[in-house]
Amino acid sequence: MEQYEPDRLSPAQRAALRRGLTSGRAALTRRSLLRASGGGALAAGGLGALSACGIPAAGKGSGGIAAEDRSVKEKRVHFSNWTEYMDVDDDKRRPTLDAFTERTGITVKYTEDINDNNEFFGKVKPQLAAGQDTGRDLICVTDWLAARLIRFGWVQKLDAARLPHAYANLSAQFRSPDWDPGRAYSYPWTGISAVIAYNKKATDGKEITSVSQLLDEPKLKGRVGFLSEMRDSVGMTLLDMGKDPAAFKDDDYDAAIARLQKAVDRGQIRRFTGNDYTADLDKGDIAACVAWAGDVVQLKLANPDIEFAIPDSGYIVSTDNLLIPNKARHKRNAERLIDYYYEPEPAARLAAFINYVCPVDGVRDELAKIDPEAARNPLILPDKEMAAKSHAFRALTPKEETAYEEKFARLTGS
């Protein structure tokens, strides 16, 4: 079990929360990348509060804590997800969920009650720490929080025999994150990519394809944006420096921060932003930036001058993930729902609506029937070459999280 210091947030941790809630992914609708990935340190503080209140942590045993599985008798499953993260038709019905119920007889209580990773963690931690049922059979959280829940022993190990489509169709790039090797406890709902975007009108037609250009190109001075999410901006910089974001050291992190600081001091970087960079990029006030792929997909639909690039050095990908909490009463039904979304047809319908990286192999033909343009878009369905360039930012210890966020906060002035 991971141990924590007292439950006081450092100034840097509070800054990370402010970035997430006011200018980061947590300030947006889900289709505009509502995600507070910068808050891992805050979740750590949250657990400190648990201990301070005298609530014991759950047991350390692997595989989590099961309850009596009522799946056969009770044909239902409670799925908690983010807002705007499920396909919806003109009548406000959810076609893929409806099709699942029609096929299986399992009714899905679908709740959009996840607006921020930290906020959701605060909702469920008292029950999970006390070994109680949260009332949810399936949840969807970002990779850093998924990693923490697994470490605490607060989620159940999945039964691979009940996940034949998931096992067979999971894309190679998502198969074995360092926090859940072999996907024993989780399966990705979507992938979220940080790439380079630029307005070719603002760059006079020049292609911007590397972080080095963002940091060093004189003609871009004062018109460059980086993201307020530490893992994305620092991760992309580490890759440009030839470092592996999955295996970097403290000195590597410090060198990346120093490189970004130099660009800030020279006035090369205009600002560090959440999703609000999109308006500036659309107008050309920001000529080029590190951007979230889901935003780029939407921007390109309205502005043909918006382009994206995948650097030769690679790009950062994170995931939102499906997990079954301890004491869930309908584990088999939840596993059946996970497996359903790894079938090509429902996976394609979901991808067509939300425009995120689809983690399911074999959906291209199905997606082409629904949206040919989406089926050709590598930001939704990466080809093998693009997938090979994806990198994950490694899991951080609480000590690293605090130190790294403090350094990033000084850099961004937050």
Residue 236 to residue 248: CA distance in whole angstroms: 12
Q: Is pLDDT of 125 > 60? A: yes
Residue 305 lies in a domain: yes
| Domain with 247 in it | 192-317+395-412
| pLDDT band for position 272 (cuts 50, 70, 90) | very high
142-178 pLDDT, tens digit each: 898 899 899 999 999 999 999 999 999 999 999 999 9
Q: Which two three-digit tokens encode residue 58?
A: 């759950």
Residue 396 to residue 404: CA distance in whole angstroms: 9
Tell me: do 311 and 336 sit in the same domain.
no
* Contacts (Cβ under 8 Å, ≥6 apart) of 334: 77, 79, 137, 138, 324, 328
Please choose, from the candidates 189, 194, 143, 193, the residue with its C-alpha nearest in 3D space to the C-alpha of residue 360: 189
Give residue 62's pLDDT: 52
Strands (E), 274-371: 288-292, 306-309, 315-323
Tell me: do 310 and 331 sit in the same domain.
no
Tell me: do 282 and 404 sit in the same domain.
yes
Count of domains in the chain?
A: 2
Tell me: do 196 and 309 sit in the same domain.
yes
The mean pLDDT of 327-341, rounded to a whole number, is: 98
The mean pLDDT of 64-81, rounded to a whole number, is: 92
Tell me: do 80 and 175 sit in the same domain.
yes
| pLDDT band for position 49 (cuts 50, 70, 90) | very low
**What three-state secondary structure class fits 4?**
coil
Inter-CA distances, 315 with 232, 311, 390, 398, Å: 9, 7, 5, 25
| pLDDT band for position 63 (cuts 50, 70, 90) | low
Residue with tokens 């603002």: 202
- Angle at CA 269, nearest 5°, toward 266 and 272? 135
Give residue 42's pLDDT: 36
Handedness of CA 57, 320, 179, 358 (dihedral sign): positive
Contact yes or no for 318/37 (Cβ under 8 A): yes
350-396 pLDDT, tens digit each: 999 988 899 999 999 999 999 999 999 999 999 889 989 999 999 88
396-409 pLDDT, tens digit each: 888 998 899 899 99
Residue 246 to residue 48: CA distance in whole angstroms: 26
Q: Is pLDDT of 243 > 80? A: yes
Lowest mean pLDDT among 64-68, 196-200, 212-216: 64-68
Q: Could you tell me the CATH number of the domain that includes residue 292?
A: 3.40.190.10
Lowest mean pLDDT among 34-48, 106-120, 191-205, 213-227: 34-48
Please choose, from the candidates 283, 280, 262, 236, the residue with its C-alpha nearest in 3D space to the C-alpha of residue 393: 236
Strands (E), 324-367: none
Lowest mean pLDDT among 84-98, 113-127, 186-200: 113-127
* Contacts (Cβ under 8 Å, ≥6 apart) of 336: 77, 104, 106, 162
User: Can you give the length of the chain in residues?
Assistant: 414
User: Exposed (0-12), middle (13-18) or buried (19+): which is 302, by Cβ within 10 Å?
Assistant: exposed
The mean pLDDT of 37-48, rounded to a whole number, is: 38
Tell me: do 169 and 136 sit in the same domain.
yes
Tell me: do 88 and 120 sit in the same domain.
yes
| pLDDT band for position 100 (cuts 50, 70, 90) | very high
What pTM was computed for the model? 0.78
Give residue 402's pLDDT: 87
Tell me: do 258 and 301 sit in the same domain.
yes
Please choose, from the candidates 60, 55, 129, 145, the residue with its C-alpha nearest in 3D space to the C-alpha of residue 401: 145
Residue 306 to residue 288: CA distance in whole angstroms: 10
Cβ neighbour number for residue 253 with a 10 Å cutoff: 22
Tell me: do 266 and 407 sit in the same domain.
yes
Q: What's the mean per-residue pLDDT of the chain?
A: 86
- Distance between first and last Cα of the chain: 32
Tell me: do 179 and 196 sit in the same domain.
no
Residue 134 to residue 124: CA distance in whole angstroms: 6
Residue with tokens 């998502």: 174
Residue 16 lies in a domain: no
